[in-house]
Amino acid sequence: MKQRRTILGTFGVATIFLGTAVAGSAAAADPDTLAEAVTVEGITQHLEAFQDIADANGGNRAVGTPGYEASAAYIESVLAEAGYTTSRQAFDVVIRDVDFDFTVTGQDGIVGIPMSNTPVTGPTPITAELVAPTDPLGCDAAAWAGADAVGKIAVVSRGTCSFGEKSIAAGAAGAIGAVIYNNEPAELNGTLGDIGPAYVPTIGITQAAGAAIIADLVNAPEATLRIEEEVETIPTFNVIAETTTGRDDNTVMLGAHLDGVPEGAGINDNGSGSAAILETAVQLAEQGELNNQVRFAWWAAEEIGLLGSAHYVDDLLANDPEEIDQIATYLNFDMVASPNYVISVYDADQSTYEAPVVVPEGSTATEDVFTDYFDSVEQPWIDTAFDGRSDYDAFIANDIPASGLFTGADDIKTADEAALFGGVVGEQHDQNYHTAGDDISNINTEALDIMSNAIAYATASLANDTSAVNGVAAPVEPAAPAPTVPVAPAPTVPVAPAPGAAPANELAATGTETSDLLLALGSGVLALGAAALVIGRRREAAHQK
């Protein structure tokens, strides 16, 4: 056993530095902790509140209705209890009340639904022969090659391309109207997207009705289509809230649309996204100081054209353009609990789907936050097209990075998807999409659990650091003072004077020889101290082995 030697003597001030302290990130929310705090149980309480609100207000929460107002008031009350100050951003929207008729000679009881944002015929209906493209999907000019559609009403199948693309292709081929039939046994309630001049009056019909029409085309049946609308301008509003901590010049933003369709309560679409970010906001408020501010938005009027989010960004451009550059990234959550779900992430890096929009720089890094999280917990995921067909559109159009999560709407589950996520092959991801069946029973809690964990994890991660997205580094704490160890100075050693020399006290007074001696002794002690540190560290390493 080694013996410790103690050097006795007169001690002064001397220090040996053991190391250098390293600056680190400021205290921030822990992503794993927030992911655990945001639970399905907490989110379900909000979903049940939305269902109760719909039940008490005509069965829906559509924009401009008492159900929407009550939904917003509920959001505000929950946020106020969590310590947030909310604001309502008011604007006006145009509501189109559509009335229509569709009949086909030789067919009875056809169920049709006008596509959202379809052109109208006016009070005078159009009557024309029905025609199908060479390629039943009717997505482009090639699909209509060899078919005479001029002055006729096109009949095309759902699938592959958007409803808007089908309507545009039919119009380009000369058709004066379009009927899109479903590719599964259900009503077809879709949207053409933004209102545009290239569309023709377009409705959706069931798969059975489409099959009957196609089978009878050899008889050249005629159809009559009337679509009229009543236009009303109504006031509505977005709900906005943000954290009280974090730098406000580097804001992370989350959004979900709060409105549903008039047909039902809209609990998956999009109560699920609204409730998930609400519970994330509640739990984030308990996490303490943040590095970056987090802003939450509940959008109005998404179902009639992404109007709430567009108004928000347009208002910033007009009144506070600097704020556009201060939004680090935008995360969108539109349907995160579909019953026949997929776990999908917006494909910003275009690894699966080529984007039909310009993808802002930083969007791929935002996507990576989600995909890296899923990979870390061994959760399978797939891409969904980064196409701007939800509330992130206005953000990416103004070069704000974005990504988001989606569990599916009216697309059909494939065998490959079922192998990854389970569910029913050949059925829609949400079999009750845009129908009265989208109620509280339409929520898949397994999907909601997976997605809410990812939402919370990504929120905390980006609240900590967005440097991978936009190059803005997280703040750092000052380096802590380095720990020190006091070291004894050289002991006082009496020195005998040489024969005939002056007394020692005189030498000390005049100085030089004594100073040199003390300096040498002091250097020796420092060397001993350093050696002792090396020995101590070796002993510590030996114990660790």
For the chain, the average pLDDT equals 86
What digits encode the pLDDT tens for the residues 385-422? 999 999 999 999 999 999 999 999 999 999 999 999 99
What's the pTM?
A: 0.71
Q: 27-84+243-476 maps to which CATH number?
A: 3.40.630.10
Residue 460 has pLDDT above 80, yes or no: yes
3-class state of residue 323 by DSSP: helix
| Residue 239 CB coordination number (10 Å) | 23
* pLDDT confidence bin for 109, thresholds 50/70/90: confident
Identify the residue whose tokens are 């938005």: 297
Predicted pLDDT at 17: 29
Predicted pLDDT at 323: 96
Q: Which of 111-120, 247-256, 452-461 has the lowest mean pLDDT?
A: 111-120
**Residue 116 and residue 194: Cα distance in Å, rounded?**
9
* pLDDT confidence bin for 11, thresholds 50/70/90: very low
Extract long-range pairs of 20-24: CB within 8 Å, 24+ residues apart. Answer: 20/479, 20/482, 21/479, 21/480, 21/481, 21/482, 22/479, 23/476, 23/477, 23/478, 23/479, 24/476, 24/477
| Mean pLDDT of all residues in 260-289 | 97
Residue 316 has pLDDT above 60, yes or no: yes
Provide the residue ranges of all domains of the chain, joining segments of one domain with +: 15-22+483-544, 27-84+243-476, 97-231
> Two tokens at 324?
């556009």
Q: Are 174 and 218 in contact (CB under 8 A)?
A: no
Identify the residue whose tokens are 């096109």: 154
- Which residues, 6+ apart, have CB-to-CB distance to 312 below 8 Å? 89, 238, 240, 297, 299, 394
Position with higher pLDDT, 258 vs 4: 258
Predicted pLDDT at 475: 72
Residue 19 has pLDDT above 70, yes or no: no
Phi, psi of 242, deg, nearest 5? -145, 160
| Mean pLDDT of all residues in 240-256 | 97
> Two tokens at 351?
């690894």
What digits encode the pLDDT tens for the residues 482-524? 555 555 555 555 545 554 444 444 433 444 444 443 444 444 4
Between β-strands 112-114 and 202-205, what pairing exists: parallel, antiparallel or unpaired? antiparallel
Measured CA to CA in angstroms, residue 217 lies from 133, 223, 374, 474 at distances of 12, 11, 49, 65
Predicted pLDDT at 488: 54
Q: Are 301 and 259 in contact (CB under 8 A)?
A: yes
- 69 is known as an active-site residue: no
Predicted pLDDT at 284: 98
What digits encode the pLDDT tens for the residues 129-160? 999 999 999 999 999 999 999 999 999 999 99
3-class state of residue 476 by DSSP: strand
Any idea what DSSP says for residue 15? E
Active-site residue, selected from the candidate residues 279, 302, 303, 417? 302
3-class state of residue 294 by DSSP: strand
3-class state of residue 310 by DSSP: helix
How large a percentage of the chain has pLDDT more than 90?
Answer: 75
What digits encode the pLDDT tens for the residues 186-224? 888 888 987 778 999 999 999 999 999 999 999 999 999
* pLDDT confidence bin for 314, thresholds 50/70/90: very high
* pLDDT confidence bin for 111, thresholds 50/70/90: confident
The answer to whether the peptide bond before residue 270 is cis (omega within 30 degrees of 0) is: yes
What digits encode the pLDDT tens for the residues 43-94? 999 999 999 999 999 999 999 999 999 999 999 999 999 999 999 999 999 8
Position with higher pLDDT, 28 vs 77: 77
Predicted pLDDT at 534: 37
Strands (DSSP E) contained in 366-446 are 382-384, 402-406
Q: 97-231 maps to which CATH number?
A: 3.50.30.30
